[in-house]
């Protein structure tokens, strides 16, 4: 929905730069779409850091808070997709690996949260992406079968979670995830309002 990976890129560079480490592209790809505690533990393990995931989360929150108002943008095509879904009176929700406070702040900047039935974050499930629990929970709360649900994802971990839940999954990779393996999804498109996405919503 947003250019959060661009922001996360800056946060990762700042976090690791303070510790004399490089936030490499390979590490970014491994972390994309993972819940915060899991991502930070992986960062600790791979870079040999002495911090705890909780310490890195608090530090990253402070960096995010400074970046968010100036840097966050909606991804191209999002308004068109939301308008179409609403015109067709279809239910929609957010299922994100971002923590609840960040998700609320990002949505509030564009007054988007009221447009969704609910927002799921890692706090609402016991297992984060790539486990399918988040999307199975979303389908249950929407009172639909997972196979009736369309999921738009930009990360490999997120799309694997949706595919494992048996949702119709479309990958919309940004430049950070273009090198990822999306062979498990039904479609890979370059924008949220790509014809393939709009056709599925209308069908």
**CATH number of the CATH domain containing 60:** 1.10.150.240
- The number of domains in the chain is 2
**Mean pLDDT over each residue of the chain, to the nearest integer:** 94
CB-count exposure of residue 61 (10 Å: 0-12, 13-18, 19+): middle
β-bridge mates for residue 168, sequence order:
150
Residue 139 has pLDDT above 90, yes or no: yes
Q: Which domain holds residue 191?
A: 78-202
Residues 164 and 96 in one domain: yes
**CATH number of the CATH domain containing 112:** 3.40.50.1000
Give the global pTM: 0.87
Neighbours of 33 (CB within 10 A): 25
Residues 167 and 144 in one domain: yes
Write down the pLDDT at residue 169.
98
Residues 66 and 85 in one domain: no
Residues 53 and 101 in one domain: no
Write down the pLDDT at residue 80.
97
Write down the pLDDT at residue 152.
98
Of 21, 37, 71, the position where a domain reaches its end is 71
The per-residue b/e assignment along 148-181, b for 16 or more CB within 10 angstroms, e otherwise, is: ebbbbbbbbbbbbbbbbbbbbbbbbbeebbeebe
Of 48, 71, 94, the position where a domain reaches its end is 71
Taking residues 132-146, report their average pLDDT. 98
Helix axes 53-71, 36-47, angle to 10 degrees: 110
The structure tokens listed for 94 are 């957010």
pLDDT digits (tens, 9 = 90+) for 52-101: 999 999 999 999 889 988 899 999 999 999 999 999 999 999 999 988 98
Q: Is 132 within 8 Å of 162 (Cβ atoms)?
A: yes
Please tell me the distance from the alpha carbon of residue 149 to that of residue 200, in angstroms, as a whole number: 11
Write down the pLDDT at residue 57.
93
Residues 11 and 84 in one domain: no
Residues 94 and 173 in one domain: yes
């Amino acid at each position: 929905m947003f250019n959060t990976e661009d922001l996360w890129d800056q946060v990762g560079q700042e976090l690791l730069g303070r510790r004399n480490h490089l936030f490499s592209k390979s590490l970014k790809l491994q972390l994309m779409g993972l819940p915060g505690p899991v991502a930070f533990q992986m960062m600790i393990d791979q870079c040999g850091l002495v911090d705890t995931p909780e310490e890195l989360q608090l530090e990253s929150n402070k960096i995010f808070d400074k970046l968010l108002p100036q840097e966050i943008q909606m991804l191209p095509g999002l308004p068109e997709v939301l308008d179409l879904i609403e015109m067709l009176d279809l239910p929609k929700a957010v299922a994100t690996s971002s923590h609840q406070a960040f998700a609320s702040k990002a949505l509030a900047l564009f007054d988007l949260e009221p447009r969704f039935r609910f927002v799921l974050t890692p706090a609402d499930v016991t297992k984060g992406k790539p486990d399918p629990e988040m999307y199975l929970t979303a389908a249950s709360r929407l009172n639909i079968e997972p196979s009736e649900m369309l999921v738009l994802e930009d990360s490999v971990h997120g799309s694997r979670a949706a595919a494992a839940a048996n949702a119709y999954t479309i990958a919309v990779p940004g430049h950070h995830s273009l090198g990822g393996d999306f062979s498990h999804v039904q479609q890979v498109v370059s924008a949220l309002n790509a014809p393939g996405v709009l056709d599925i919503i209308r069908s």
